[in-house]
Structure 1
């Protein structure tokens, strides 16, 4: 199970507290983005953790890492030092502090650990997934209690596949974040992959590319219930995030009492990404997929078998894993004809029809 962290990025502590109170029932922890606070709010940082029963992560992110810190780097590091070394009564201080991979403050970090806090050692890449990511994660863990965090932009299925593979190679607590639309399923499946926690935004303000809000994650995807035994289904398309399919199918899975989740998989519209994703989905245990535009016809050459409706229509809207690979079906046809027959109460062959659209 992965902890759902709400990123609080308002300009004042009070505004952040209001956001946290709104989403508190769906959230396991909070991240306070101090780099977005007004300058006059910074001296009050230490008071924020006592305002909420949730554990709080302190982040002061520089602009190079996608943050909004407007002061000098010396001022930012000084603020980190002060908050790491501040002796605060247990349960009233920050539970975690985010420190970048190239920043090492041994004295202050040791004091923070002694007080019960943990360092999140972070790295960011907005240019794609670095080839040496696994090595950098290992080198960034300066202490056994540190939690390595990598937030990387995912632009292709190849990147997504590599991120899944890296998650399998990591031991202990870790945080992996796939930024961008293609990385969204990785975030939803954090608990199945063993990620310690993952970050999400309020509905009012997306603080990173591809963030969902905590209410949607809990009510639609049952995020906090996803674990290594959760069965995975989904839908592929480009675009696909607008679809109501997850809302419908996840409600059905919940009603059936299944430990399962239905996830949107936004894919780039290239032959390499489609074939690469089908290989990845099989490897990570996806059992079946809905197929929508533009892949209903493009997926046909990649199928190991297909039903009569697929061959008749020249299109596929559902695939599932069979003995030889992905098998295709088309339920659009019967999904249209069966209720039509029931509504008319007669055979429909020979009827005239009109298509609107």
Structure 2
């Protein structure tokens, strides 16, 4: 089975994360490579991978000598052919000769593809190469194989005599990464093994997968990475599950494989050095998800207060499948964003009454006592509080006992999870609520549920029953990269006294810019983001939210 329920548990707590950070060096000249290795050293890398296939011209002896003799970091030499995803398209003997030469000159590591590994080892048998470690690698740019096939692949690589096993696959779904974590953890407990099948003749049963392995007690370090945006967590959480090495680039976008984060992100966004086997994993579930500022906020707060957690991006296609797959106690809490907030309600074992009334969940906690998933909604408090503050500011404070929303006509754009939260919150505060949505039936359904009215989005431009209305956009219209989009024409904004936009990338959307120009008070999505984050932090940790710290962090971004 490719996505078993309980896959893995991290190695014993208390051991320090020893995962190395390697920077791929892909300059077209040796001079550029030397500069980039120096930069990698200065920025905190442990290893530099010299991608010889990126060089426009190469004089093997002269160039390798220049790099190795003056190295400031341990060097890993890779000469990747096109048939394995690299750029080299020349004579195979010359390529392998260069790797043998790197060993003779004292390279710290070389990377040899599994397809040629046996022949390569035959060519160096009996020779001594100053303890150069040989990484034998396999790359799959289409998919991530089954557990059984990954286990067989590990055994094949180990059988070559590899000093280090490297497997890189591709994620078609984020649950693919779980299989890599399982292999990574098992590589430490059953470290050099031969797949025996599903019988119980000899060997020891792998209790998570059902396969039988013959154990050989020779430890071989394991590099397991899953490429692509859906595989990003493999590059961070390998530090938790015992991976030997991960890759981080010097510059954003200049990658040697799809989905590589930057060195700076590994060190300072994800605090990779502090990720340990007992580190709790949190994340933002969404599609898209890369725009979210939640990882920046939560990771910096965790680090500042000394909380042992890491918060990651989780690009999820099927929420139920994700939660079934990552069901171990290592994964303890999730924020939920578009388009999964309503589905999250159905995926939880228990749902907070407010979230149930709203019909959407934006925060999921795995209860440590029994592993059950508990759903909450913190969106409505964050958004409604920010809107009330905006109205009180405009009306010089007013009464704190009666909400400034009482009696107001409150127009909500969107009938999804965030729309439901705002509609519920506004109704609770005494507002008259109208739902505007592209699909009228969805708007009508939500309006009926809370006792309001419904419109189509196209009706909104001519909707003017009264002045001084409130407008709240809860859709992704206007979010990066489509920053020129807006859900309503500028001429219609003059009838609103306050306009709120849940989008916070960019902070000032076209909707907010035009609303301000039309004389309305504006409330940014960042205010809602902060408010809902306070509640999520308290659910995640059981601790009071350090609100001033949250605000100080977000002011930097």
Q: What is the TM-score normalised by the length of structure 1?
A: 0.91
Q: Which has the higher contact order (CA 8 A, sep 6+)?
A: 1
SS at 1:282 equivalent: coil
Matched, 1:262 2:280: no
Partner of 2:70: 51
Partner of 1:280: 325
Stretch deviating more after TM superposition (233-242 or 41-50): 41-50
The one of 54, 63, 66 aligned to 2:85: 66
Task: Indicate conservation of the 8 Å contact 2:247/2:260, yes or no.
Answer: yes
How far the C-alpha of 1:129 sits from its partner, in A, is 1.6
Cα-Cα RMSD: 2.1
1:132-175, Cα deviation, whole Å (9 max, x unpaired): 12111122124666100001011124422222221222134110
Task: Indicate conservation of the 8 Å contact 1:237/1:291, yes or no.
Answer: yes
CA 1:286–1:6 in 2, change beyond 3 Å: closer, same or farther?
same
SS at 2:407 equivalent: coil
Partner of 2:358: 313
Partner of 1:229: 278
Match runs of 1:1-357 below 5 Å: 1=17, 2-24=19-41, 25-43=43-61, 44-84=63-103, 86=104, 88=105, 93-103=106-116, 104=118, 105-106=120-121, 109=124, 114-131=129-146, 132-142=149-159, 146-170=163-187, 171=191, 172=219, 173-204=221-252, 205-268=254-317, 273-283=318-328, 285-322=330-367, 323=370, 325-342=372-389, 344=392, 345=397, 346=400, 347-348=402-403, 349-352=406-409, 353-356=470-473, 357=487
SS at 2:131 equivalent: coil
CA 1:29–1:281 in 2, change beyond 3 Å: closer, same or farther?
same
1:67-113, Cα deviation, whole Å (9 max, x unpaired): 000312222122222223x2x4xxxx310000111223236655776
Task: Indicate conservation of the 8 Å contact 2:21/2:46, yes or no.
Answer: yes
CA 1:21–1:114 in 2, change beyond 3 Å: closer, same or farther?
closer
Q: Distance in 2 between matches of 1:68 and 1:52?
A: 24
Q: What is the TM-score normalised by the length of structure 2?
A: 0.59
CA 1:41–1:267 in 2, change beyond 3 Å: closer, same or farther?
farther
Q: Distance in 1 between matches of 2:282 and 2:374?
A: 14
1:274-328, Cα deviation, whole Å (9 max, x unpaired): 2221123222511100001110111221111111221222111100012362111
How far the C-alpha of 1:260 sits from its partner, in A, is 1.4
Alignment coverage as a number of residue pairs: 347
Task: Indicate conservation of the 8 Å contact 1:157/1:276, yes or no.
Answer: no
Q: Distance in 2 between matches of 1:112 and 1:242?
A: 52
SS at 2:185 equivalent: helix
| Structure 2, unpaired ranges of 5+ | 1-16, 192-218, 410-469, 474-486, 488-557
Larger Rg: 2
